[in-house]
Homo-oligomer: A and B are copies of this chain.
Amino acid sequence: MDQLSATFAALADPTRRAILARLTEGPATVKELSEPFDISGPAISKHLRVLEKAGLITRGREAQWRPCRLDATPLKEVAVWAENYRRFWDASYARLDALLTEMKETEQ
């Protein structure tokens, strides 16, 4: 699986996006991250592994804690990818695109 696919797949789960949102406020332990959700610890562990493999978080070791820290660099690739489609959602460009399509059709 390529990097971009892994990133999109990781972001497809609301729990994982909530974890990322929490990590914008600073590093957190697994316990802290699991508190907002009523799912088991192993389920959180799996989510964190997905995020780690996607390069969206890094994990340290401090005694019995495994603090998680946000690494947003893959999100830059997401933003860049999405920006390539800006002209297709931007209204003025959409009108221009429709005009060009119409011109192309009538010229044949």
Residues of chain A touching chain B, judged by Cβ–Cβ distance below 8 Å, are: 2, 4-5, 8-9, 11-14, 17, 20, 24, 26, 70, 72-73, 75-76, 78-79, 82-83, 85-86, 88-89, 101
Evaluate whether A24 and B75 lie within 8 angstroms (CB atoms) in the complex, with A8-B11, A14-B5 already known: no
Q: Assess the B88–A24 pair: CB atoms within 8 A.
A: yes
Task: Tell me the number of copies of this protein.
Answer: 2
Q: Assess the B85–A82 pair: CB atoms within 8 A.
A: no
A contact patch SS: helix
Going nearest first, the 5 A-B pairs with the smallest beta carbon separation are: A72-B88, A79-B82, A8-B12, A9-B12, A72-B89
Nearest-neighbour CB distance to chain B for A94, whole angstroms, equals 9
Chain B residue contacts of A12, Cβ below 8 A: 5, 8-9, 12
